[in-house]
Amino acid sequence: MRGLRANLPARAVRTALAAALVLLPGLAAGGVEVRPGASGRKVITNENEVQRARRLAPYLVAPSSEDLLALIERHALDRGLDPRLVRAVVQVESGYNPAAVSNKGAMGLMQLMPETAADLDVTSPFEPDENLRGGTEYLSGLLERFGGDATLALAAYNAGPGAVTRYGGVPPYPETVAYVRNVFALWQGGAAPAAPSGYGTALRPAFGPAPGAPLPPARPVVWRTGGARAHLTNVDR
């Protein structure tokens, strides 16, 4: 997003700011930041992780089949996982399509790679029950490996545990960053889920504030000039 020229008339600057506030409701009430988008372009946003989660919460859709929903619930609980987390992973991975195949060869509802499926003794990866059994076992193992840190476990599910270990955190891959963000947004939407016994640390994510946590106070949005450009910002830098 190109900055406005600093030598624009003051009236033009004020008009542009007013237009921005109309086009982006609530801009002055939230924190503004610039993020790299999936396409490489910069995206300006005033939405933090909690707000994003609440906005996307309605999009955690139920599978078209009650039998599939029951399978997800059963395998999630068998592995001590929150069923909403597993539903979010399935939705982001395959859109609940048991026949899904990625361009890298990942298969089925939870998009198991062939070598992962073999390690988990999943011989029919397109069969929902077997795929969910293997996928939840794999996700549970990643949570254990990374000390219950759901952020790292999800990053490892997408990019591989070796990449997470190598970078000492979420790898700086746009796809992985977006994947973790989207799964968390679907999983954490609305109120925090109740924690039945046996769920363990999978219900205590480490990616952003906990659901329902108080939002940080808003910071003022100002026009700051620097060099030949003016910028809309609420960040001190």
Query: Could you report the per-residue pLDDT of 134-166, keeping only the tens digit for each?
Result: 999 999 999 999 999 999 999 999 999 999 999
| pLDDT lower than 50: segments of the chain | 1-8, 13, 17, 20-29, 190-224, 230-237
For helices 128-145 and 66-78, give the axis angle rounded to 10 degrees: 30
Q: What is the DSSP string of 72-133?
A: HHHHHHHTT--HHHHHHHHHHHHTT-TT-B-TT--BTTTTB-HHHHHHTT-S-TTSHHHHHH
> Which of 33, 47, 49, 93 is an active site residue?
93
Contact 183, 158 (CB under 8 A): no
Look at residues 108, 128, 126, 106 and name the one whose alpha carbon lies nearest to residue 116.
106
Catalytic site includes residue 93: yes
Q: What is the pLDDT of residue 212?
A: 41
Q: What is the pLDDT of residue 59?
A: 66
Q: What is the pLDDT of residue 211?
A: 40
Q: What is the pLDDT of residue 234?
A: 47
Delineate the domains of the chain, giving CATH numbers in brackets: 4-47+219-233 (no CATH), 55-203 (1.10.530.10)
